[in-house]
Amino acid sequence: SLNCLDWSLLTPATKEMLALAEQVKGRFQGDPSFEYSLSEINAEAAARMIESGKEPVIKEEARLTATIEQIDREVGIIPRGAFVKTPLGSVHENRHFEGLSLVEAKKLSSYFHFTEPVNLKNKTLLEKADLDPSTDFLDSLEHDIPRGSWSIQLEKGGTVVVLRSLLWLGLTFYHVPTTKQFGYAYFGTGEKNLDLPFML
């Protein structure tokens, strides 16, 4: 939206858009038609694009789409048990999910990345033995690298659990224990905190 009244959907991000957006550093300009020149940012990437017959520029709209996709993939999270995987492999919302208990809600291991698992495939059979295949089919936050990239806090006298990402500053996830209420929102600059490993 340009005026906060009229809204339109962004196109899905492609692999090319994601690769180009990672080259661009700095804050957004606020103009979807603004073009970043890759020749000023990364001469090698620009040369490869020219060789393949493409113009070495990326529009801010494409960068925004790629950044949203990257944030969703890296820090989009759900509480354990909110979704279930059927024996046939399809994933559905768990209608029996009544929220995490307060004790479980305070643990980082009770939250999962809501994207295709990466670390789960690398676990040994012994590590997978304690997992429930219907609910533990996603990557847990406790194994995120760097360790300490999540902050857990209790708000409103312990009635709301809040997780904040230190990797994508501005990403806030909330869950009201013993209820179905959870979600996340991002209010940030669109810049990944690449200095985090040196700050911990």
For the chain, what are the domain ranges?
A: 15-74, 76-198
pTM of the model: 0.78
pLDDT at residue number 84: 86
Question: Please, which residues have CB within 8 angstroms of residue 61's CB and are 6 or more apart in sequence?
Answer: 10, 32, 33
pLDDT tens digits for 90-135?
888 888 888 889 998 888 888 988 888 776 666 665 666 667 667 7
| 10-residue stretch averages of pLDDT, the chain, 200 residues long | 83 85 84 79 67 76 90 89 85 87 89 79 62 74 84 86 91 92 90 82
- DSSP lists the bridge partners of residue 155 as 160
Q: Judge whether 100 and 47 are in contact, CB under 8 Å.
A: no
